[in-house]
Every structure is written in structure tokens, then in C-alpha cells.
Structure 1
Amino acid sequence: MHLIKLNAIDSTNSYLRKLSSDAELVDYTVVSAKYQTNGRGQMGTVWNSESSKNLTVSVFKDVSKLYLEHPFYISMATSLALIKTLQSFSIPKLSIKWPNDILSEDKKICGILIENVIKQNRLRASIIGVGLNVNQTDFEGLPKAASLKLLLGNTFNVEEVLYTLIKYLKYYFMFLRKEEYYLIKREYESFLFRKNKPSTFKDIEGVSFSGIIKNVSSSGSLQVLIEDDIIKDFDFKELTLLY
């Protein structure tokens, strides 16, 4: 692992993406920042984080030699690496809120933003951005946010959390290298938040409806059992889980 430490940056993902376009990077090159002025989440959301209290990193992962069925397996492997990391620090009742928010009970503690690098119509690399709430305790206006410190009462070593995460990223990407996709998918689905429980959703037009999360497809669609025993696939832009 090659680690680049920054005090402040607009976005570690943007920084690492530019770095990868300017030079050949070592696999698992990591950019870590004490503070991000413009941290980004899924679908253009903003990730707010207090300086020096959380893990805000981006990881360069060379995927040019992986024969991926679908890019979503990168997201599944990353989500599982975070679950395993958090389990090693005794964080309780972990789940994955589709597609890749990490929850403890129903509190969000981590978000993931994956940006793929495509050259000559081939997937070459992934920039894996992780925002993990570690020692921050004030989340004004965010009632569903939590941190490791809020959950357990301890102050954590952020760098130790980072090194543990890299260890488990390598572990789960080993399964992708072996093309053991079913193992990744099966374990990912076992952690799906509200799987097999009646839930309320909102569609892209703002209409609420009831359904039961069953699984995900290999391409990353959420498979929801709706009325008349129909299982419908939803893209992550088409559906919001209300909880």
C-alpha cells in the first residue's frame, strides 16, 4: 500500500482520479485526508465530516486483470470489506443499505463512492472512496447518522481502521480474482438491510409503495417483491427505501 496523507483537499476521489490519469499508480495507492472541503457521496450528495475525526480516504484499485461479470461486484466486495473491518472493532448489528451504505442498527456510519476508470472501452481501475464516521460525535440535522465512538464510547485510532480496511479489501478482491462471484453475492445479500421484511419505498415519481427486499441482481439492481407476487428490479436511481 502506498499512502498519501493530505491535511485538506476538496475530494480524495477527485484528487486520486487526476493522479491516476497523470501517472501509473501502484495497486492500493491510498489518498487520506484529515478534512475534505467537498466530499461527495452517491448521486451528488455531500459528505460532511469534522477535521481529523473520521476516515476519509480513496483507494486506487487496478481491476484490469479481473474478469468481472458486472462492475457492481466491486461495490459488493468493498461493502463486505467494510463490514469485516467494523466487525473486527466489535461494531454491533451491521447491515448494508443498498447499494452500499453501511449501517449499525438503523444508523448510517459509512458511505462509499466508487468511480470506475474506463480506457479503450475497458474497465481499467476503480477509485474507491470511503467516508467512515469514526470519532465524530456531533451530527446536527442528521438523526440517522452515528459513529464508532457514539456506538461504543471509545476513541479509535483512524489509521488502524484504515490499515484494517485495506487488509480486508485485499481479502475480498481475492475472491473476484478467483471469479468466485457467487460467494461475494451470497455474503453481500446476507447483510442486506431489511431483507425479507415488509418495507415502504418511494419511486422516482415520489409515489410510496410497499414491498419486500429479496436479493440483488448481478448488475446491482435491487429485487423487490411487490403486489401480485411480482419481483421487480430497481436501479439505485429509481428507488428510495424509507426507514
Structure 2
Amino acid sequence: MRIIKLNAINSTNTFLKKLSTEETVVDYTVVQTNYQTNGRGQMGTSWSANTGENLMFSVFKDVSFLGFDQHFYISITVALAIIKTLKAYKVPKLYIKWPNDILSENKKICGVLIENSIKKNNFKDSIIGIGINVNQTNFENLPQASSLINLTGNVYNIDELLIHLIKNLKYYFTVLENGNYEELKSTYEKYLFRKKKPSTFKDIEGNMFSGIIQSVSQSGNLQVLLEDAVLKEFNLKEIKLLY
């Protein structure tokens, strides 16, 4: 496994994406940094972290074996690999907040940004960016954020955590390549944050409404039971689950 370590970079995803256009990049090539000046999350959100206290990296994965309608299984695979890793470090009450934020109880400890490369309507590869709050204790103006040290009281070896996580990514991608879609999806849904609980959502126009999360569709849409007993699907751009 090739690991490229950088002291600071604008974005590990951007760096790895550029590298993949300049040379042949092998599976599980990792770009890791101590600090990101322009870390990004889902839907254009920013990701801010203290220097050297957190795990911030991107990994390259060939996903050409996947059908175009199976793209959400990349998110599922990544989320489950993170959950498996954090469970081994005794992080309590782990959940997946759709589509792939990782929470401990209701505190966000990990964000994921997946950027897929497509060629002739087929998947080519994925750049998977992962940021885990590890040894940072203070999250100013981020009341929903926490870290491994805050949750467990333990200081963690960031490089060891990375190796453990890559091992679990390899495991779950093997499950995916073997076509065990139902196993992955059912395990993902077992950890789905606020599943079967009345929750508040905000739509694209900013309107708030209530519903109960039932599951996710094969394409990754969130399936929500609304107050009028109608089951409706929403994609990532249409809905936001509030805490």
C-alpha cells in the first residue's frame, strides 16, 4: 500500500484526483495530511480540523466492477469500514447519518466525501476522502461535533488508525466485489441514525416537516414515511435530516 504523507494541502481529494490524471495510481493509494486548508464535505460544506490532531486522508479505489445504478454501495462500503474500525477502538453508540456521516450517539465524529470518475457511462474509479476527529478536544462553534478522545478519554495513534481503516476498507470492498449487496445494505440500515423514529427534516425550499426514516433505496435515496402515511423517497439534494 502506497501512502503519500503531506504536512499541509488544500484538499487530499484534489491532490489524489490530479495525481491519477498524471500517472497510473494503484488501488488503495493513500494521500494523508496533517492539515487541510480547504477540506470539503458533502454538498459543498467545509471541513475544519486542528493541525496534526486528526486523521485526514483520501484513498483511490477502482470501482469499474460496479454498475451505474449501484453507486450508493460505495458509500455503504466506506461507512461500514469506518464503523468496524471505530468499534474496535471502543467508540460508543455508533450510527450512520444518511448518507455517510458517522456519529457517536448524536455527535459527528467523521465525514466522508466520495468523488467518482465516470467514463462512457461506466464507473472508473473513486476518490474517497475521510476525515475523523481523533485527538482534537475543542470544536468552537460546532456544537454537534466531537472526537474519539472526547468520547473515550484515550489518545490515539493516527497512523495506526489509518492502517486499521484501510484494512477494513479492503474487507468491505471485497464483500462488494463478491456481489453481497443485500448483506451490505441490511448492515448499513442497522446503523442508520434515527431509523424508525419521528424526525424533523428540511426540504430544498427550507420548509420543515416531520417523518419517520424507514430505509434507503437501492440507489441510495432516503425512504421516509410522512404524516399522511405515504412513503416517499428523497435524494441528497432534496432533503436534510436535522438533529
Per the TM superposition, whether the score is higher than 0.5 is yes
Deviations 1:81-137 (A, max 9, x none): 000000000000000000110000000000000000112332110000001000001
Partner of 1:220: 220
Partner of 1:34: 34
Partner of 1:154: 154
Counterpart of 1:91 in 2: which secondary structure? coil
Counterpart of 1:10 in 2: which secondary structure? coil
Q: Partner amino acid for 2:241?
A: L
Partner of 1:133: 133
Q: After the TM superposition, which residues 73-112 of structure 1 pair with which residues of structure 2 at under 5 Å, given as runs? A: 73-112=73-112
- Distance across 1 between alignment mates of 2:200 and 2:68: 32
Partner of 1:235: 235
Range that drifts further, 221-230 or 139-148: 221-230
Contact 2:66 2:123 survives alignment (8 Å): no
Contact 2:68 2:123 survives alignment (8 Å): no
Q: Partner amino acid for 1:53?
A: E
Q: Partner amino acid for 1:15?
A: F
Q: After the TM superposition, which residues 115-126 of structure 1 pair with which residues of structure 2 at under 5 Å, given as runs? A: 115-126=115-126
Deviations 1:200-220 (A, max 9, x none): 111111111110000001111
More strand by percentage = 1
- Distance across 1 between alignment mates of 2:232 and 2:187: 21
- Distance across 2 between alignment mates of 1:51 and 1:114: 23
Contact 1:67 1:177 survives alignment (8 Å): no
Normalising by structure 1, report the TM-score.
0.98
Partner of 1:6: 6
- Distance across 2 between alignment mates of 1:80 and 1:35: 25
- How far the C-alpha of 1:226 sits from its partner, in A, is 0.2
Structure 1 unaligned runs (5+)? none
Contact 1:221 1:235 survives alignment (8 Å): yes
Structure 2 unaligned runs (5+)? none
Partner of 2:44: 44
Contact 1:77 1:173 survives alignment (8 Å): yes
Counterpart of 1:15 in 2: which secondary structure? helix
Q: Partner amino acid for 1:44?
A: G
- Distance across 1 between alignment mates of 2:44 and 2:228: 35
Counterpart of 2:18 in 1: which secondary structure? helix
- Distance across 1 between alignment mates of 2:65 and 2:75: 17
Aligned length: 243
Partner of 2:188: 188
- Distance across 1 between alignment mates of 2:132 and 2:90: 15
Contact 2:62 2:124 survives alignment (8 Å): yes
- Distance across 1 between alignment mates of 2:50 and 2:188: 30
Partner of 1:54: 54
Contact 2:7 2:35 survives alignment (8 Å): yes
- Distance across 1 between alignment mates of 2:65 and 2:187: 23
- Distance across 2 between alignment mates of 1:8 and 1:182: 40
Deviations 1:144-166 (A, max 9, x none): 10000000111100011101110
Q: Partner amino acid for 2:93?
A: K
Counterpart of 1:170 in 2: which secondary structure? helix
Partner of 1:63: 63
- Distance across 1 between alignment mates of 2:227 and 2:152: 40
Root-mean-square deviation (CA, aligned residues, Å) is 0.9
Normalising by structure 2, report the TM-score.
0.98
Calculate percent identity across the aligned residue pairs.
Answer: 61
- Distance across 2 between alignment mates of 1:43 and 1:64: 24
- How far the C-alpha of 1:69 sits from its partner, in A, is 4.3
